[in-house]
Each structure stands twice: as structure tokens, then as C-alpha cells.
Amino acid sequence: MTVLAAAAVAFLLAARFAGAARRRAPYLAGTAAAASAALAPTAVLAAAGQADRRVTAIALAAGAVAALGVICEVGGLPLAVRVIVESVAAGGVVLCGVQVTFTGDWWDGPVTVMWLVGATNAFCLLDRVRGALTPVTAVTAAFLAGTALVLGDPGPAALLAALCGACLGFAVPRGAGARMGASGALFSGFVLAAGATALTAGRDAGTIAAGLLLPAFVAIVGAGAYGTRRLSRAGLGPRTVAAVLTGLSAVTGTAGLAVALGVLPAGAAAAACALGGAALVAVWRAAGARRGPAGSPVPTLVRRG
């Protein structure tokens, strides 16, 4: 019940405040959705007597990262400053027990920080493709919430369900093709990456690899090879690109749930994810190169400042 309640509260808050922000300050609509996704699960869990410090830590750290996004929307920040602040936020989450456990040694902490920062910014890049980030985040968060329930971990389940609800609420006043902006995108990426990390803690190496790679598959592939722009240059419009990425998110989400249920071997899922990603990168780059104008530079997905 707490999971459904968190999702419902986040949906209602996001629909209300994202709509208000759309009329007054459109770039704050994503911030409103982020605030809804952070407040709803912490309040619902506290009211139910199930407060989870991991959820609180992730919500606070993601809020700090979202604040960076607001500053970037208004005036811009140097890349080094953004990475430092994101690393500090990720470090705070690690100190609260959310980290990968490949070895159980001290270096698991720095590896977690690097993963969280990288995955957060990879998801943020998807917001450059109109209509892609909101459905991809909603689908990924929904499957991760289901995985958390299967694993018997209600805290992360409530947080991820709230993120799904906030994305759906954001889409009500803004429309399916609206961008979330830097604030909402950074928040979404951080919560998804940290939520996936929390669910893999204490498990074997194969499960950790699958649990981290599958939720971030679309973001990593799209950001790593400019795949989304390559698809556009191959003749696919923004809506088609968003549909393709959302479908891929559903496939990887299903695979992650199958791993949690013990239906699919974790090692095989992780290997298939890596090989599939490499194959998609190669295909998308080749398609974009054939259809793109001769000699034209590859457009960057990163906005400086």
C-alpha cells in the first residue's frame, strides 16, 4: 500500500505543481516533478512507520543534484563544478549504505560514486531528445519498483514508484513530448541509478552487473554513441526515436525483473546487455553516417555551461 500511495501522491503533486510552473516559469516544471518524487515517498514511509534512511539520503542527494540543474537552466555552471557537486552528493548516499559490493572493500565506495555520476549524466542527455526522457524514466522506474517488491525492499520500491508517478503527473499538463529540463533530468537519473544500486547491494557480481546495466541500458547506449541523434539522422522522427527508446526500456526492465525472480541468469543478462549495447551503437552509427550530410560534424548532446 505504501508503494501505491507514494506513486499516487507524487502523481497528484507533480500534476498540480508542474502545471503551475508551466504557466509561470516553464523551466521549473521538471523541478516541480523532482520535488514531488522526493517528498511523496519520504512522507508516506514516515507516516506508515517505515522510514528508510537510504530513501531519505537518495532523495536529499538527488535534490541537491536537481538544484544544479536549476542553476544550469538559469545561468550555467562549469562542468568541473557540476561533477564535484554530483560526486559529493553521491558520496553522501554511499555513506548511508547505498553502494555496490563487488569486493566488500573500501574501493567499492569510489566505484559507486563514479557510477552514480556517470549514469546520472547519461540519463540527463536523453532529455535532449524531445519526448524520450519522461517515458523512459517512468517505465524504468516502474520495473525497478516491481523488482524491489519482489526482493522485499519496500523503501526503494516506494521511491521508484513515486518517480514513476511524478513522471506521469508531469506529462499531464506538459504533454508527452515535453522536456523535463536539466533539473528534472538530473534528479531522475540520480534516483534511478541510486535505486538500482540499493537493490544490488550484497549480491553476487553477476547480479550486481545485471542490476546496474539493465536499468541504465538505454541511457548509456544513447549517450555513449550519440545513438539517439544517429537514429534521427537515419530518417526516424523524434516520436519514433522516443518510442524505440521506451520500448528498449521495457525490454531491459522485463529482463531485470526476470533476474530478480530467478527466471533469467544474471550473468547471461549482463552479457546480453553489453553485447546488445555494442551492436546497437554500431548499427546506429552506421545508419546515421549513411544518411547524414557529407562532411557534417556530429552534433553534440552536451550543453556547455
Residue given cell 511523496 in the structure block? 40
Residue 230 has pLDDT above 80, yes or no: no
Residues 6+ positions from 63 with CB-CB distance below 8 Å: 34, 35, 38, 187
Could you report the per-residue pLDDT of 151-160, keeping only the tens digit for each?
999 999 999 9
Measured CA to CA in angstroms, residue 8 lies from 57, 110, 118, 279 at distances of 22, 35, 30, 38
* Residue 285 pLDDT > 70: no
So what's the pLDDT on residue 297? 45
Burial status of residue 71 (CB atoms within 10 A of its CB: 0-12, 13-18, 19 or more):
middle
Cβ-count burial 239-272 (b if 16+ within 10 Å, e if not): eebbebbbebbbbbbebbbbbbeeebebeebbeb
302 — pLDDT class (breaks 50, 70, 90): very low
pLDDT tens-digit map of 150-184: 999 999 999 999 999 999 999 887 776 778 888 99
Helix, strand, coil share of the chain (percent; to 5): 75, 0, 25
The CA distances from residue 53 to 93, 107, 153, 183, in Å, are: 10, 22, 13, 23
